[in-house]
Amino acid sequence: MLLEIRQQYTFFGILLYVASTIFVLYMSMGQPEPAVWNGLFWMIQLFICVNAVAKSFLAESKGRILYFYSIAGSVDFILAKLLFNVLFMSIMSIISWILFIVLLGNPVNYAGRFLGINLLGGISLSLVFTFLSAIAARAQQNAVLMVIMGFPVIIPQLMLLMRISNVVFSDVLQGGLWEIVLLLTGLDMLVIILAVILFPFLWKD
């Protein structure tokens, strides 16, 4: 099941997209301040996510959905999609971080900690967008809907992520870091549980 989904993705297309966006940023910004770097980084993450993950349901043709419907249960299907998108987004976050280091400089003081935050952010974004794209795929004009539904949900997540990733730029360790990490992880679990419970209703069509 997983392998099947994995094949159909235009992995290199997205990769090219990431690389060219970051290159354009480099051309216009040079080496920005840590705060700007942080903001840009999460914005790029967001747009990668919208472009790659959000398409996961929208890009499927009717015939293919029918095929999946016949070979797999709804819970297996949504779990496979979530898992795939999480992996995909984690790889993408790491690649874009490497590109950021190469082109825009590296203001990060604690690499390990930032790696963790980075992965957490990628996972959170991909989970939310996978679930929302499953909903939006049921409606017309789904690309617009995706954005309308996604952004209010994503704003608090991004706010939290930017807040905790500020920690790695300064030498002083701020309190409340673990609280926010826990909150984000909790949110992720919540989205997974909701997706598993609610997806069967969307699937029967």
Partner 1 sequence: MRKTWWKIVCIILLIYTVVGGFLFSVPAREILHETIRNLYFHVCMWMAMMVLFTTSVIYAIRYLRSQNLKDDIYSVNFAKVGIVFGVLGYATGTVWASYTWTEYATSTQIFKEPKLLGAAIALLVYFAYLVLRGSITDVDKKAKVSAVYSIFAYIMLFPSIWILPRLLESLHPGKEGNPALNFNDLDGRLRIVFYPAIIGWTLLGVWITSLKIRLDLLKNKNILHG
Give yes or no for residue 72 binding partner 1 (CB under 8 A): no
Give yes or no for residue 58 binding partner 1 (CB under 8 A): no
CA distance 140 to 144: 9
Give yes or no for residue 201 binding partner 1 (CB under 8 A): yes
Choose, by CB under 8 A, the member of 139, 143, 173, 189 that binds partner 1: 139
What's the min distance (Å) between Cβ of 54 and partner 1?
14
Hey, what long-range contacts does 65-69 have (CB within 8 A, 24 or more apart)? 69/203
Max Cα–Cα distance, the chain, nearest Å: 55
Using CA atoms in the order 187, 192, 196, 202, what is the torsion angle rounded to 10 degrees? 80
Choose, by CB under 8 A, the member of 115, 135, 162, 177 that binds partner 1: 135
Give yes or no for residue 75 binding partner 1 (CB under 8 A): no
- For residue 89, give the nearest of 193, 164, 14 by alpha carbon: 14
Choose, by CB under 8 A, the member of 23, 156, 170, 185 that binds partner 1: 156
- For residue 127, give the nearest of 88, 181, 72 by alpha carbon: 88
Give yes or no for residue 148 binding partner 1 (CB under 8 A): yes
Q: How many CA atoms lie within 13 A of 80 on its CB side?
A: 14
Choose, by CB under 8 A, the member of 140, 171, 172, 178 that binds partner 1: 140
Stretch that binds partner 1, among 35-43, 85-93, 101-109, 146-154 (CB under 8 A): 146-154
Give yes or no for residue 152 binding partner 1 (CB under 8 A): yes
CA distance 105 to 171: 18
Interaction site with partner 1 (CB under 8 A): 131, 135, 138-141, 145, 148-149, 151-153, 155-156, 159-160, 176, 179-180, 183, 187, 190, 194, 198, 201-202, 205
